Amino acid sequence: MHGDKAQRAELLPNLRAAPLTRVKNRDAGLDIARGFAMVLVVFGHALVGALGAGLISDNAERVLTAIYAVHMPLFFMISGYLAPRLINLPTDVFAARFWSRLVWPYLLWSLVLMSAHFLMRAYTNTAMTGFHPFTILWKPPAVMWFLYYLGIAILIARAVRGAPNTVRAALGMAVISAPYILPALPDQTRFIGFFILGTMIPNARVSGAFPKSSTTVAVIITALSLLMLWTLPIDNTDAYPASQIWLLPAAFAGPFLLYRASQYVALNMPNVPFMQVLRLIGQNTMPVFVLHILITAGTRIGLLKIGVTDWAVIICAATLLGLIIPLLAGQIANRAGIEKWLGWR
């Protein structure tokens, strides 16, 4: 794990479209963790589409909730961990990178996704009643809420970068707790707190050994959370999945276990093909992030149009294509030298 310092120089390292080759001097454990989290994102959205189309029973809602309890806290904490070099840059350099690697991708792909949704509104699970592009300034469309809240998190972290650790830790926990205390706040607000806490993780702690007791505690917390998830009523109708307060411990324990597992396989099974694929995805998550929602929806719609109704086939096809096609697009964009204009670098 010798690439932490190099990685911290990136603006959004977890959303960086590197060439589809192995990148030197990167933390393989972080890349694998990002790759696994992105697979969960794509699978989760394929599952959401199948649920919305009425292809599978509501019991799948529990699987979806388990996924959402872990993958977004993991993404925001990793993003926070990798952010200090960015948030400490001089103002002019910070502003330029913030624009090119976050604001521009957000504006571009929000308009692309909104336009695609409007044009395909007759076939999607949720129909748009009108095309109002200016609303992206305050209402992120589809998956673009991630970049929207990530941008807010970066600005807040930069504003408090000189504060004592106790103040930043208290702020992070307060933001995580806020949506549970003030229901009017968007559920996604809590992820800003995970980002702030991520900025406080020291390099030595991520790359070094963890006490065995910490892993044991995380396993127990995750197991208890899953048990509750499979026994208590679940209703995500009017809320972001996994926003239930009793799943909050899993939002800390789950990402910790995923990273520990990623660190283990990076050290002990680096040449296993599946792990290499996860690492590849983790190095190229921006094209997957912005394109997968179009591909998973398009795959589902296309298969239903030709008479394929097997939910397992639809979900598997949507997930695989939602990963493969964006990776190929990232490769093409990189070779053509247009990845910067697409917001992928």
Work out how many domains the chain is built from and give that number. 1
Query: Is residue 20 classed exposed, middle or buried when 0-12, 13-18 and 19+ CB atoms within 10 A define those classes?
Result: middle
Which residues, other chains included, contact 218 with Cβ-Cβ below 8 Å and sequence gap of 6+? 252, 253, 254, 256, 257, 260
Residue 341 counted as domain residue: no
- Domain of 116, in residue numbers: 4-336
Any domain includes 271: yes
- Both tokens of 208, joined, read 């070094």
Query: Which pLDDT value is given to residue 19?
Result: 37
Give the pLDDT confidence score for residue 49 in this predicted structure.
86
What is the per-residue pLDDT for 206? 55
Cα distances (Å, whole numbers) of residue 112 to 105, 131, 133: 10, 12, 10
Contact 105, 140 (CB under 8 A): no
- The pLDDT value recorded for residue 210 is 63
The pLDDT value given to residue 209 = 59
> Is the CB of residue 196 less than 8 Å from the CB of residue 168?
yes
Sorted by sequence, the CB contacts under 8 Å of residue 193 that are 6+ apart come out as: 171, 172, 173, 174, 175, 176, 177, 178
* Domain contains 38: yes
pTM (two decimals): 0.87
Which residues lie across from 17 on neighbouring strands? 284
Cα 335 to Cα 20: distance, rounded to the nearest angstrom:
10
- Residue 121: per-residue pLDDT: 82
Domain assignment of residue 294, yes or no:
yes
Please name the residue that has the structure tokens 């192995």.
22
CB 259 within 8 Å of CB 79: no
Q: How many residues does the chain have?
A: 345
Q: Record the tokens describing residue 58, joined without a space.
A: 């509501």
Q: Which stretches of the chain drop beneath a pLDDT of 50?
A: 1-24, 204
- Residue 26 is predicted with a pLDDT of 73
237, part of any domain = yes
- 344 within domain boundaries: no
- Tokens 């697979």 locate to 39
User: What is the three-class DSSP state of 88?
Assistant: coil
DSSP three-state, residue 284: strand
- Among residues 245, 242, 157, which one has the least CA distance to residue 201? 157
Query: 28 in a domain, yes or no?
Result: yes
In this structure, the number of other CB atoms found within 10 A of the CB of residue 321 comes to: 18
Asked whether residue 343 is assigned to any structural domain, the reply reads: no
Both tokens assigned to 229:
């998830």
pLDDT given for residue 326 in this prediction: 97
Cβ-proximal residues to 18 (8 Å cutoff; 6+ apart), any chain: 283, 284, 334
Nearest to 199, CA basis, from 333, 88, 321, 120: 88
* Residue whose structure tokens are 């009523």: 233
Tokens describing residue 103: 């604001």
Query: Hey, which bits of 112-187 come out as E strands?
Result: none
